[in-house]
Amino acid sequence: METKKALPILFAIMFLVMVGFGIIIPVMPFYAQEIGASPTQLGLLMAVYSLMQLLFAPMWGRISDRIGRKPVIMIGILGLALSFFLMAISTQLWMLFAARIIGGVLSSANMPTVMAYVADITSEEDRSKGMGVIGAATGLGFIFGPAIGGVFSQTNLNIPFYVAGISSLFTFTLVMFVLKESLTIENRNSQLKKKASLLAAFNGPVSILFILQLFVSLSLSGLEATFAYFASEKADLGAAKLGYIFMIMGFASAIVQGGLVGRLTKRLGEGFVIQLGIIISAIGFVLILFINSFTTAALFLTIFGIGNGFIRPSVSSLLTKQSAAGHGSTTGLLSSFDSLGRIVGPPLGGWLFTIAIGGPYYFGIVLSIVALLLFQVYKVKGKVAVAN
């Protein structure tokens, strides 16, 4: 399938997947509370999904190397739809947990397989551009999804879950009838000749890139978990204004990933863009400590979001070029490191916040510096040509 035809379809698929996922975000705490969940149980309910993604994303990536990308993407989206419908009919807490576990196991197939699809259809020169398009779709889906969920939740709390399930079924139909398989028999054989084990994917200098992505995910999720409290304390910002701030940051990050990443990596290489992203993110963390109004909060958080938007597509692109394992195995393991960061980041950020209000952001600065140093080690070990 031609790249020019496939990328817009993949964009639409990931956008719809994330819209469906985002729809339930503002509703889940109230829905779980209505069923009888305590704050601790709600935290576990949110964490179990990421835990399943951590455990199963590499498996789906390896399976997609064997049987092709399209069937695995279809399994992931169908699993997402199933989990939404199960949540909609849940009347007891164990049913919600079962739905979240099923959703986490099956939907963990989506992101690594879509990224592997992009790696299949793009040249090395255009790889970052393709990864950036997927990142932009993901970001925009997270912006529109919660807004839609908030609208539908006004009549009944379980309606957003039905809406998310129907949206996922529509996306499944789109994949079935419009998306063509990217992994031809010849390419499949080529992927299978590569080492399929996790050790192969996490072997040599490229292992540093996985750790780097973990640090990025840790710092981002720590910020997301605590920023509402921080902004309320420092600038007296309420929920509505915080929603607008995250929306502005999301749009800026999506623009960077969808347009700027591809152009910069073509001219300067992934290595330069990764380092640029880490530096901008670190500057964003420093500036966030000085917010005192809606304007400064929106501006400084957007600077951080732009830096973050440079990193993930470029890391994904570089990994699929350098890893000894198949594209699916590589992107699956990368998704696991992302999930690990999302599991550990929020409670760690919350704990740091209780010690000092700026704790999560000082920690983010430190992680950014360590990530930058790690990339210098990768450059030396991998002997990658990076434009200065």
Residue-wise pLDDT for 341-350, tens only, equals 989 988 899 8
102 pLDDT tier (thresholds 50, 70, 90): very high
Given this model, what pLDDT does residue 190 score? 60
What token pair was written down for 154? 């006004």
* pLDDT, mean of residues 172-195: 76
Mean pLDDT (the chain, rounded): 88
Domain boundary among 193, 226, 256: 193
Let me know whether 148 and 203 are in one domain.
no
Let me know whether 272 and 331 are in one domain.
yes
Given this model, what pLDDT does residue 285 score? 97
Let me know whether 362 and 216 are in one domain.
yes
Count of domains forming the chain:
2
38-54 tens-digit pLDDT: 878 887 888 898 899 99
Let me know whether 210 and 348 are in one domain.
yes
What is the dihedral sign for C-alpha 65, 67, 69, 71?
negative
CB contact at 8 A, 365 and 240: no
Q: Is residue 367 one of the residues assigned to a domain?
A: yes
Measured distance CA(109)–CA(68) in Å, rounded: 12
Most confident of 77-81, 192-196, 331-335, 376-380: 77-81
Let me know whether 189 and 206 are in one domain.
no
Given this model, what pLDDT does residue 387 score? 42
| Inter-residue long-range contacts of 284-293, CB under 8 Å, 24+ positions, other chains counted | 284/308, 285/219, 285/223, 285/361, 285/362, 285/364, 285/365, 285/368, 286/361, 286/365, 288/223, 288/227, 288/230, 288/361, 289/358, 289/361, 289/362, 291/230, 291/231, 291/234, 291/235, 292/234, 292/235, 293/235
Measured distance CA(78)–CA(105) in Å, rounded: 12
Judge whether residue 217 has pLDDT over 90.
Answer: yes
Q: Is residue 106 one of the residues assigned to a domain?
A: yes
Let me know whether 342 and 203 are in one domain.
yes
Let me know whether 177 and 271 are in one domain.
no
312-324 tens-digit pLDDT: 999 999 998 887 7
CB contact at 8 A, 161 and 297: no
Q: Is residue 388 one of the residues assigned to a domain?
A: no
Let me know whether 176 and 223 are in one domain.
no
Domain boundary among 193, 225, 254: 193
Instruction: Determine the structural domain holding residue 168 and report its residue range.
Output: 3-193
Percent of the chain clearing pLDDT 90 (strictly above): 53
Q: Is residue 387 one of the residues assigned to a domain?
A: no
Q: Is residue 155 one of the residues assigned to a domain?
A: yes
Q: What is the CATH number of the domain that holds 296?
A: 1.20.1250.20
Higher pLDDT, 308 or 204: 308
* pLDDT, mean of residues 236-258: 87
Distances (CA, A) of 117 to 1, 177, 213, 316, 328: 10, 16, 20, 12, 8
* pLDDT, mean of residues 76-103: 94
1 pLDDT tier (thresholds 50, 70, 90): low
Measured distance CA(233)–CA(300) in Å, rounded: 16
Percent of the chain clearing pLDDT 70 (strictly above): 93
Let me know whether 236 and 118 are in one domain.
no
Domain boundary among 152, 175, 193: 193
Q: If you count them, how many residues does the chain have?
A: 388
Query: Taking the mean position of all CA atoms in its chain, how far away is CA 315?
Result: 13
pTM score, two decimals?
Answer: 0.85
